[in-house]
Amino acid sequence: MRVGSDELDIVAFDGETLVVVEVRYRRGTTPRDALLSLTPTKQKRLRRAALGLLERWPFERELRVDLAAVCDRGFELLENVLTF
């Protein structure tokens, strides 16, 4: 989903919580390497996009940002990777 010049990979609900999931893939490594690829610049863009989503559609719900780290050998999901 595009929010201005930024992109959100997955937007969903977990019960009453609005969840934005950033998906990071790294070929042939471990999920931890994909997690480490969330640079400060990417975090800033992700935060801006998530807040832009709330401006576009003002949900009266909690917002959570998760990170899905994917590699050839596995998958790891981390909840609440950004604070607002």
Determine the pLDDT at residue 65: 94
Domain range 2-78, CATH architecture: 3-Layer(aba) Sandwich (3.40)
Q: Report the relative pairing of strands 6-7 and 2-3 from DSSP bridges.
A: antiparallel
Among 54, 27, 22, which Cα is nearest to 39's?
22
Q: Where are the domains of the chain?
A: 2-78
Provide CB contacts within 8 A for 60, sequence distance 6+: none
Looking up tokens 């576009």, which residue turns up?
A: 56
Q: What is the pLDDT of residues 19-75, one digit of tens each?
A: 999 999 888 777 778 778 889 999 999 999 999 988 888 878 889 999 999 888 888
The pTM of the full predicted model, rounded to 2 decimals, is: 0.85
Binning pLDDT at 50, 70 and 90, where does residue 82 land? confident
pLDDT in tens, 15-35: 989 999 999 988 877 777 877
d(CA 51, CA 55): 6
